[in-house]
Structure 1
Amino acid sequence: MTETAISEHGMIGDLHTVALVTTDGSIDWFCCPRFDSPSVFGALLDDERGGRFRVRPAGDFTSRQMYYPDSAVLITRFFTAEGVGEVGDFMPPAGEHATGNHRIVRLIRCVRGRMRFEVELAPRFDYGRRPHRTELAGGGAVLDGGPVVLTVHPVREPGDERLAEVRAAGSDLEMSLELSAGQVRGVVLEAGADGPPREIRVAEVRRLFEETTAFWQNWLAGSSYRGRWREAVERSAITLKLLTYAPTGGIVAAPTAGLPEQVGGERNWDYRYTWVRDASFSVSALLGLGFDGEAERFGRWLGDRVRERAGGSSGPLNIMYRVDGSSDLKEDVLDHWSGYRGSRPVRIGNGAAEQLQLDIYGEAMDSLFAGDRAGLPIPHQGWQAVRDVLDWVCANWDQPEEGIWETRGGRRRFTYGRLMCWVALDRGIRLAAEHGRPADWRRWAAERDGIYEQVHDRGWHPGRRAFVQHYETDVLDSSLLRMPRLGFVAGRDPQWLSTLDAMADELVTDSLVYRYDPAASPDGLRGSEGTFSLCTFTWADALARAGRVREARGAFEKMLTYANHLGLFSEEIALTGEQIGNFPQAFTHLALIDAALTLDRALA
């Protein structure tokens, strides 16, 4: 149980994939060339067999991490008895082309005194299932783990050959660097290099550093947010950008797989894909910050999926896709890995991809509606596809489904799924009316109104005085916290206020919010889980809309204290306060943005 704690990581990326860097200087998670590719470094899930790329001082040290201001450039500072040093980690943006090289730059510097750095490069290709061949050349090395080949370029100055010598350690590599104050050296690890290893001068890497920081600072300058929580909101915006696959605009739910919702439990899912729901939620968050370009690119990605009309058991949309838009997500188990702190099975792929989850149609339509309001209209061909989707919703909304949380205990008539079908039809009717688009208005309106009546008749539980998870239970579900945001109920409606009170008694613990109670509503899985960070931020949003602004602000501020040292959030918070689940999670960061925007308006 030696894997580094989830929260003890920072993230760097090039808009195709990311690497996670521990507070002691080890890259222990990196998939290449895409988010959903097999891992090259996976010590996060198996410290012994996963592989890593470590740079740290020899001997005893302490460390701190920070991001270079307004950027995704990560600085890890080391403190020893003899001096202060740092490693600057970044990945130059790879652009919108699906092919090309991917570089991890590790710039090593002695700040004060002197410091001896030890470098260890131990990749384990294809989740540790594929051996690799190592060849020293040109002062560096080539590690061939086909189909991924890594080229190691040493960063040094003339005369450094003995100082920065790359040595083979079996099929892995080692290097030592003895630096004094002011000296800078490093390593560039490149996947997809066109030529052999070469010595790179420090000045060239400094230029890469300046270009990368300028890219992020220029991008963030496009934010229109000037509210009370600027640091947290802007870090969340950068996180969402890092989780975006540039060639398509798809946003992954998280860059990791297999991190547990309960340490030692079986709820260990692969999140390296684009969920229609999660990515649709991000549209309003990005538009709220003024990032219209990112919202437009995802809108095109979503439009492509709508036009494809999957046509399977889940209807015209799948609930998730690979970042390139394909839908092969077969779930498998890595039996040879021990899992994060013994949490098994370690799953790759995601079997929930074939589930029927009716809510995705509402989220998709709500994001298209928000884009239209922001000046991103739906073209004619896109409207034809939208019309077909809504006709399908009319014919299929009143059937059992697996629900928003991807339960594996059988289909139910989930209230949230009905709510979102209401949203889908409501947004479609508005778009048709505002733009004079052809549509089966009467049918859409009749079904929309039927859903509204059914949710109030059957989704409302008189005994609980609350809206409940599905029609055959009295269990509460925090997904319904979105009801007022979506316009289904008013934020101060008496039925809604009593629902909030019921949730406060059953799902909320000192402002942290559970999704639901698995013991009361079996979901087909063993074990429990932590509080769901998305739901906590949504709780703050709902409180603000209910007029309980002081309480909302308190909940929001408390939740910010659960971020890691860099302002990053995983999926859940354990009973101990530690971060659990996949990390960092887009869902959580976009909910933070939404809640901050709502609170700013309420406080104004």
Structure 2
Amino acid sequence: MSTPIGDYALLSDRRSSLLVSRTGSIDWLCLPRMDSAAVFSALLGTEEHGRWLMAPREGEVLGRHYEPGTFVLVTRWRTPTGEAEVTEFMPPVDGRSDLVRHVRCLSGTVQIDHELVLRPNYGSTVPWVRRVHDDDGSYLEAIAGPDAYILHGPRLEAADTRHRGSFELHAGHSHSWVLTWVPSHVGGCTPVDVREALRQTRQYWQDWSAQIEAGGSWAGVVRRSLLVLRALTNDETGGIVAAPTTSLPEDPGGERNWDYRFCWLRDSALTLEALLLHGRTEGALHWRNWLLRAVAGDPEDLQIMYGIAGERELPERILDHLPGYADSRPVRVGNAAVNQFQADVVGEVIIALAKLREAGVEEDDFSWPLQRAMIDHVVRHSDDKDQGLWEMRGDPHYFTHSRVMMWAALDRGVRACTDYGLPGPAREWAALRERLRAEILSKGISAETGGFTQTYDNAEVDASLLQIPQTGFIAYDDPIMLATVAQIERDLTKHGLLLRYRTTGTDGLAGDEHPFLACSFWLVEQYAKSGRIPEAYELMDRLVECTSELGLLAEEYDPAGQFHIGNFPQAFSHLTLVRAADAVLSAEIEQVGHAFNETTTEQETP
């Protein structure tokens, strides 16, 4: 049986990443980038597809945690003969990718067992392995094409196409192993100083997290969520991946399995907003610079997603040799949705860049002209149908949410000209903005319910409609919005959380889904902004309870079975958690301020 998705921990050096299970098995590792071919792919298959198990023999996990403000993972083990502590991390060292696993015996004696199964290229390749001796001692070297994997540490012995080892430790004694990726033509590498690497890793993460501005009831999960967003941001390029995994299913055993190791403009823009709200302007500027490089060129070539360095070609292919997580096929790498037209994307990007401008970051001779070109792209495609926020693989439609986001792009463009004096055809944009508004209010509202509809040609709702008041198109407490919320609550609620939409509708795929966490966080924000604060608190508390023991969230969650579903951890879930927590805190502060003002007024009344 597959390890529950929520039982995995994320480690990252902001270039590569891995997932390690609660029982000490690294089942997913991509080196040297998050979108590189995995060398450990047991997550999507079996141990034969690559993994590194390191665990005390007959051990049980007493608990595990990240050191505060870091991605240094500490796991406490107990065995019949003693206790041990395992510390794992990826040092953020320029020019190399390392994974450190350190174990220390705390009491008695413990036997530490290893099984290392290196399988580059998503588990399809058995590397050539040899033991190399140099001035620093000896190390294990595994080579497969352009990649070499170097293991320093106490010796593991070959056993068929695996390497195993068992090491007895007494109280106070420790061992460390370091796995390093290098280009195969470069060859060996100097082993890291584990103690110094741990110090640098702690300092790196703590220096960043110490600057996070967070308060309120959920400050802890907000901090962890912002750390996750940081971990998913490439240190060199500024590209933010949607998740570090591929093909973790939305419907176990089904076909809803996608590669999320790419940079969606939408997700990245919303991440930028979350960072800005918590004082991290430098991260937002790093992403803006990535965006400008990625989308530079003819606006007609604009894509909804790009590679980590801005790559445009992301062809989707199927890995037939992998059986998939929980037997969910196909396993995909690449993403064919890159070729879709999703009309909402430019709106989300322009909103985020407007907020960066409002935060005091000045436009330069590159950033504003490119935004103008993106808004002109909206103008040219204002009559086109699209695939919607959820990347429907069925026929295109006029999605109401998409039309509102086009309105938002035009609206922010007009404001940039009128409020900041930036050059542009403000009058033309304003005219189209008003035409779109009239169209949406005419065609995007149900005559029966009085609320917004998913598309102009159906009466369904989907949870993306909860984003409409976030754009300023309509107030959170407008009767149209309240009617929309009522229908969403009625049609999309499953075990107290929200689905994205009813899959019997327009997505063109077989199978079903579980509640999509971002949608429920949007509902929290809607409740908070429309005066339903007790319900916002209740739903937020329930959603926070869905986080794993390490504070991580997948794409979806099954409340009945209490397990995570979909790619993990998911940036979209974490950034909407941050927004929801901020909305409730803001509403609470506003409510307290209002009560204070009323009390003061009463006291002053003669």
| Residue in structure 1 matching 2:214, options 218, 225, 229 | 225
SS of residue matched to 2:224: helix
List, as ranges, runs of 4+ consecutive aligned residues in structure 1 with deviation greater than 6 Å: 197-200
2: CA distance, partners of 1:198 / 1:431: 52
SS of residue matched to 1:583: coil
User: Would you say 1:309 and 2:304 are equivalent positions?
Assistant: no
State the identity as a percent: 37
| Residue in structure 2 matching 1:523, options 503, 507, 522 | 507
1: CA distance, partners of 2:61 / 2:72: 20
Contact persistence 2:49–2:124 (CA under 8 A): no
Per-residue deviation, 1:87 = 1.4
| Residue in structure 1 matching 2:250, options 261, 265, 269 | 261
**Corresponding residue of 2:595:** none
Contact persistence 2:399–2:455 (CA under 8 A): yes
2: CA distance, partners of 1:199 / 1:321: 34
**Corresponding residue of 2:126:** 131
1: CA distance, partners of 2:190 / 2:413: 57
**Corresponding residue of 1:456:** 441
2: CA distance, partners of 1:298 / 1:199: 32
**Corresponding residue of 1:537:** 521
2: CA distance, partners of 1:458 / 1:123: 56
**Corresponding residue of 2:421:** 436
Alignment of 1:91-106 (within 5 A): 91-95=90-94, 100-106=95-101
Contact persistence 2:148–2:181 (CA under 8 A): yes
SS of residue matched to 1:85: strand
| Residue in structure 1 matching 2:199, options 200, 207, 210 | 210
SS of residue matched to 2:107: strand
2: CA distance, partners of 1:417 / 1:489: 15
Alignment of 1:69-88 (within 5 A): 69-88=68-87
2: CA distance, partners of 1:526 / 1:325: 32
| Residue in structure 2 matching 1:402, options 359, 375, 387 | 387
> What is the TM-score normalised by the length of structure 2?
0.94
Contact persistence 2:299–2:373 (CA under 8 A): no
Contact persistence 1:137–1:197 (CA under 8 A): no
| Distance 1:435-1:306 versus aligned 2 partners, 3 A rule | farther
Per-residue deviation, 1:165 = 3.0
**Corresponding residue of 1:159:** none
**Corresponding residue of 2:532:** 548
1: CA distance, partners of 2:93 / 2:350: 31
Query: Which amino acid in 1 is paired with 2:300?
Result: G
SS of residue matched to 1:594: helix
SS of residue matched to 1:16: coil
Relative to structure 2, which stretch is displaced further, 501-510 or 183-192? 501-510
Per-residue deviation, 1:60 = 4.7
**Corresponding residue of 1:484:** 469
User: Would you say 1:187 and 2:177 are equivalent positions?
Assistant: yes
**Corresponding residue of 1:345:** 330
Give the superposed CA RMSD: 1.5
User: Would you say 1:288 and 2:277 are equivalent positions?
Assistant: yes
2: CA distance, partners of 1:406 / 1:414: 11
Contact persistence 1:118–1:174 (CA under 8 A): yes
> What is the TM-score normalised by the length of structure 1?
0.94
2: CA distance, partners of 1:107 / 1:538: 40
Per-residue deviation, 1:474 = 0.6
2: CA distance, partners of 1:256 / 1:165: 31
2: CA distance, partners of 1:544 / 1:27: 40
1: CA distance, partners of 2:495 / 2:158: 53
Per-residue deviation, 1:531 = 0.3
Q: Which runs of 5+ in 1 are unaligned?
A: 155-163
**Corresponding residue of 2:6:** 7
User: Would you say 1:363 and 2:344 are equivalent positions?
Assistant: no
User: Would you say 1:600 and 2:585 are equivalent positions?
Assistant: yes
User: Alpha-carbon deviations, 1:165-201, whole Å to 9, x = none?
Assistant: 321123332222100111111100011176647777x
Per-residue deviation, 1:90 = 0.3
SS of residue matched to 1:69: coil
User: Would you say 1:236 and 2:220 are equivalent positions?
Assistant: no
User: Alpha-carbon deviations, 1:233-261, whole Å to 9, x = none?
Assistant: 01101100110011110100000001000
| Residue in structure 1 matching 2:478, options 493, 500, 509 | 493
1: CA distance, partners of 2:411 / 2:588: 29
Per-residue deviation, 1:504 = 1.1
Query: Which amino acid in 2 is paired with 1:394?
Result: V
1: CA distance, partners of 2:294 / 2:33: 20
2: CA distance, partners of 1:252 / 1:52: 23
Q: Which runs of 5+ in 2 are unaligned?
A: 590-606
Give the total of aligned pairs. 582
User: Alpha-carbon deviations, 1:481-508, whole Å to 9, x = none?
Assistant: 0111211111111111111111111112
Contact persistence 1:136–1:168 (CA under 8 A): no
1: CA distance, partners of 2:46 / 2:64: 21
**Corresponding residue of 1:19:** 18
**Corresponding residue of 2:396:** 411
SS of residue matched to 2:49: coil
SS of residue matched to 2:549: coil
SS of residue matched to 2:44: coil
| Residue in structure 2 matching 1:252, options 241, 253, 264 | 241
**Corresponding residue of 2:572:** 587
SS of residue matched to 2:587: helix
2: CA distance, partners of 1:503 / 1:182: 57
Contact persistence 1:140–1:198 (CA under 8 A): no
2: CA distance, partners of 1:296 / 1:305: 14
User: Would you say 1:176 and 2:166 are equivalent positions?
Assistant: yes
Contact persistence 1:3–1:43 (CA under 8 A): no
2: CA distance, partners of 1:40 / 1:377: 43
Query: Which amino acid in 1 is paired with 2:18?
Result: A
Contact persistence 2:408–2:471 (CA under 8 A): yes
Relative to structure 2, which stretch is displaced further, 572-581 or 546-555? 572-581
Per-residue deviation, 1:380 = 2.3
Query: Which amino acid in 2 is paired with 1:386?
Result: Q
Relative to structure 2, which stretch is displaced further, 433-442 or 472-481? 433-442
2: CA distance, partners of 1:211 / 1:386: 39
Contact persistence 1:306–1:386 (CA under 8 A): no
Contact persistence 2:178–2:191 (CA under 8 A): no
SS of residue matched to 1:311: helix
| Distance 1:303-1:59 versus aligned 2 partners, 3 A rule | same
Query: Which amino acid in 1 is paired with 2:217?
Result: R
User: Alpha-carbon deviations, 1:324-343, whole Å to 9, x = none?
Assistant: 10111100001111100100
SS of residue matched to 1:353: helix
| Distance 1:249-1:197 versus aligned 2 partners, 3 A rule | closer
SS of residue matched to 1:7: helix
2: CA distance, partners of 1:303 / 1:272: 20
**Corresponding residue of 2:149:** 150
2: CA distance, partners of 1:512 / 1:89: 34
**Corresponding residue of 1:160:** none
**Corresponding residue of 1:158:** none
| Distance 1:195-1:518 versus aligned 2 partners, 3 A rule | closer
Contact persistence 1:140–1:199 (CA under 8 A): no
Contact persistence 2:294–2:309 (CA under 8 A): no
Contact persistence 2:294–2:311 (CA under 8 A): no
SS of residue matched to 2:366: helix
Alignment of 1:469-480 (within 5 A): 469-480=454-465
User: Alpha-carbon deviations, 1:432-469, whole Å to 9, x = none?
Assistant: 12221221112100111111111111111021321011
